[in-house]
Structure 1
């Protein structure tokens, strides 16, 4: 059994192959926001690295989002096309939950946040369960940062003593998070920020979660694999606003 995992939701794309033993081979692009050009060459390289042929693949996993709208579309569309051509199943992998596999031995709360602009973030809060399951503490969706931090505060005050923020939202919102820590949290609650090595999306983490989902039977046909943007694109939002204004006339 071999799963190809595609990660294109961030600024840099990567692909990985994982087998039933959990052995992983990974290939990264050093280019940013140029996923379409480099994705398939990376697939070829990771298959060579793992000494597999494309027909040795059992399923294709795609990081479903949230993240870059264009990146999500590229990853999901590529996974669908490969799965259709190979006549194999797909695995839809929730991007926010993959961050737990970036730091698998961490016992605190994971809070991945992506900069969604307009003072919003895509985010959620999770932790490892005792059986290595993923526990959702705050639902993953689009939030105003203050709203997410308010929900996170409740979770932390219910008995959690440490939270680590990950994702590309750390850079633009770090100062606000530190201000929230100083003004709102008990002094015994620690707030940390993941280092560069573990802060961003990784196809190896997508692959690890994909293997768990595969073993649980959570697979789908290529036509059922859908992006999860978590909010409307800017063009769609403006179109809806224009329609609403027209309807009021």
Structure 2
């Protein structure tokens, strides 16, 4: 009889762990591993719950209030209350009520919003209204004379049926008007035989190149070229 063991002690009262069946050892190790994995997986969530709350967002800057902007459009002064970010196109349509200028792509790609600023054709969707104070802006509403007589370009577009749906026509008319003035002033284009000299003739290729910034989704290009050619001959 081993020492420290009384006669009343039974061998089953002190089980030896090493004597446990292999199936019990495997189950015990599995439970220990599962408990450890659960503890490790829960640690980040416990840590996240104990972290301090995020700081509140910084207050945003207050919007810049509108200010008066005076635009001279078609010979009339318009004093408009505009934010600095308002485009010339939106100022004409939404504030001055001149709806003839169209918003097509709003990215300067289609030319529907073309207007004249001191005689230069520009895409009004790509420029800010505040940049054109003091300039003379001409929209399609201002191409006709004060008596209501159509300009040579407008008459030519009607005679040659140079439009279909008409959405791009205001920009086409403004662009063609500036085109004739540019050619009359001797401005060359990329198809001119010699860009260093005054172009001698307004050919169809010259017209197509100079009108290339104005898209007609209906495809009335042949009639537009004919109309510009006729307006040039009648000017």
Higher strand share: 1
